[in-house]
Amino acid sequence: MNAPGPRQAGRDARIAAGVVVLLVLGAAVAGALLLRSGGPTTSVVGQASPQAGGSRVMAGGGGIPPPTLPVSGLQASATCTSAPSRASDGTPTGFDPGNAVDGRLDTAWRCDGDGAGRQLVLRLPGSQRVSQLTIVPGYAKIDPGDGSDRYVQNRRITSMTVDTGSGPATPVSLDSSPTRRDPQTIRFPEAETSTVTLTILTSDPGQPVGTQPASDRVAVSEVAFPELR
């Protein structure tokens, strides 16, 4: 094979130089874009990504579990509701019964006192056959301002009854451990109904969090019906 002539060699050299220039320019553009975006996002196990905008999740089983999917058309009312308050950063916080069926675990229906005899009434989207529900029996929120654990601070339900209007109400027990805030499954005799009434029987008191005293209020962060998905 003949060796390339001077003209061919010069052309090859110019092409190689052009490729190098393009690579350098590409690296410079990529670096500029990375600086503009604030650098790469790093997620640490046990902590929410800052870009997610969610409350901080604590390692070791604490924090807020992933949100649940709300049941379309599910409504809630209650025999009591705590007055609104404010988070540590001043954000208004309400405790209406609808918070218990909104698919968010950092909101809650809340009621003053131990909750004994208080009711949360769930109205299903029409007559439905149900035999189970899931519930988070406390206020599963980590305050986004100061990191206070509201699940520990507020009361957590330990027992309640489930009434579908078909036969006697079903008594159930719940795990009130402050380190468990994932939805707990409650099973009861299958019934066709449009209303399910939860009546609180007992609850465990909250505990002080940092310099803040315990809150003598009972709460439910979320109720869902897996069979209605």
Q: What is the pLDDT of residues 187-214, one digit of tens each?
A: 999 999 999 999 999 999 999 999 999 9
User: Is the separation of the CB atoms in 139 and 202 below 8 Å?
Assistant: no
pLDDT recorded at residue 72: 74
User: Is the separation of the CB atoms in 125 and 195 below 8 Å?
Assistant: no
What is the C-alpha separation between 46 and 63, in angstroms, rounded?
8
Q: Which residues in the chain land under pLDDT 70?
A: 1-71
Taking alpha carbons only, the member of 87, 98, 105 closest to residue 183 is: 105
pTM of the complete model beyond 0.75: no
Report, in angstroms and rounded to the nearest whole number, the Rg of the chain calculated over CA atoms.
28
Q: Who's near 76: CB < 8 A, 6+ residues apart?
A: 97, 98, 100, 101, 109, 120, 121, 122, 123, 223
User: Is the separation of the CB atoms in 151 and 138 below 8 Å?
Assistant: yes
User: Is the separation of the CB atoms in 223 and 70 below 8 Å?
Assistant: no
What is the C-alpha separation between 128 and 198, in angstroms, rounded?
17
Burial class (CB in 10 A: 0-12, 13-18, 19+), 37: exposed
Can you give the residue ranges of every domain in the chain? 64-228
Question: For 64-228, CATH number?
Answer: 2.60.120.260
User: Is the separation of the CB atoms in 168 and 114 below 8 Å?
Assistant: no
